[in-house]
Amino acid sequence: MKHSIDPRIDCVFKSLLGNESNRNLLVHFINATLASELVSPITGVEILNPYNEKEHLDDKLSIVDVKAKDEHGRIYQIEIQLLFFSNLPARMLYTWADVYSQQLQSGDKYHELNPTYSIWLLGENAIKNDDQYIHRYKFRDEAGVPLIEHGGIWLFELEKFNAQVIDNEQTRWLRFFKEGKQLNDLNLPDWMNTQEMKQAMNTLCQFSEKERNYFAYQARQDFLRQQGTILFEKDEALVQRDEALERERIAVEREQAALEREQAAQTEKAAAIAEMERLKALLAQK
C-alpha cells in the first residue's frame, strides 16, 4: 500500500463494516464476536445506517457507528472508541437503551422487542486492574439469574489483547484491528490468509490509494488527535486543580494547627498567671 491505514480510525471502521459492499464482513464480524452468545450463526443482515462515502469523508463530526438487523429481528450496534473518558460507560448504556427502545413505535407491544447487542472495540482500557480483554454485560442478578435474555453490551479492549495464536475468527478480527496499520498488502502474514481478511485489507487499500479517501482519513486522524489532546489537557487541568486543592488543604491544616498551638500556649500562660496570683494571695494572707 502507498500509505499505512489504521482500521480503527472510525471512517475506515465504518467503511469496513457498514458498507453495503462489505455486508458479508459485517455478518462474519458479528458471528465472530458473539460466537458464544448466538445459538446459531446469523446468515444475513440489513444495515440500518449504511456507509455513505460523501457523508463520512466530508463531515468530521458524522456518527460512525454501525447498526444492523438480522433475519430474526435482532439488533446490533457496533462502535469503535479509541479514547476512553470517564462518562463513556454511561454513553454505552445510553446508546444501547436508545437503540433497544427505538424498536417500538406508537401502538407497538413490549413482546415485539427483540434482543439488542452493542459491540464496542476500545483503543484504551476501560476496566482497570483486570487482564481480561473481553467483558460481557447482561441483565443478571447477583446469583447470575437472568431478568431477560435481550442482549447486552460487549467490550473488547484492544490494548489488552495480545494473542499471537489465532485459533478462531474472533481473535483474527481483534488482531486485525490492533495490528492492521502495520500490515503490508503485498506480504500478509498467514493469519490474514482468509477471504474475509483479504477483503478487509482491500478496504484499507482503497483508503491508501484513493487520494480523496486518504486526505479524508488524514483529516479524521487529525480530528481524533485534537480530541485526544483536549482530553489530555482536561485531565492535566483536573490533576493540577486537585494538587492545588490538596496544597490548600495542607496549608489550612497547618494554619489551624498553628492557631491551636497558639491558643494552647495562651491558655497555659493564663493558667500560669492565675496560679501565680493564687500563690501571691496565699502568701499575703500569711
**CA trace torsion 80, 81, 87, 92 (10° rounding):** 10
Q: What is the CA radius of gyration of the chain?
A: 30
pTM over cut 0.95: no
What would the grid cell of residue 205 be? 487499500
Distance CA(190)–CA(209), nearest Å, equals 24
Q: Where are the domains of the chain?
A: 10-209, 233-286
| Residues sharing a CB contact under 8 Å with residue 280, sequence separation 6 or more, in sequence order | none
pLDDT of residue 207: 86
| pLDDT at residue 61 is higher than 60 | no
Lowest mean pLDDT among 85-94, 124-133, 265-274: 265-274
Q: Which residue has the higher pLDDT, 248 or 204?
A: 204
pLDDT of residue 120: 97
What would the grid cell of residue 137 be? 454485560
Q: Which residue has the higher pLDDT, 273 or 42?
A: 42
Q: Give pLDDT tens digits for 147-172.
A: 999 999 999 999 999 988 999 999 99
- What is the average pLDDT across 37-42? 93
Angle, alpha carbons 14-229-58 (nearest 5°): 35
How many residues appear in the chain? 286
Q: Give pLDDT tens digits for 195-228.
A: 999 999 999 998 888 766 766 777 677 766 666 6
The candidate with the shortest Cα–Cα distance to 177, out of 45, 2, 19, 17, is 17
Q: Which strands make up the sheet holding 151-157, listed edge to edge? A: 45-47, 66-70, 75-81, 116-122, 151-157, 134-137
For residue 140, the 8-state DSSP code is B
pLDDT of residue 259: 85
pLDDT of residue 58: 54
Contact, 13 vs 37, CB < 8 A?
no
pLDDT of residue 153: 97
Q: Number of C-alpha atoms within 13 angstroms, CB side, residue 213?
A: 20
The fraction of the chain above a pLDDT of 90, given in percent, is 56
| pLDDT at residue 139 is higher than 70 | yes
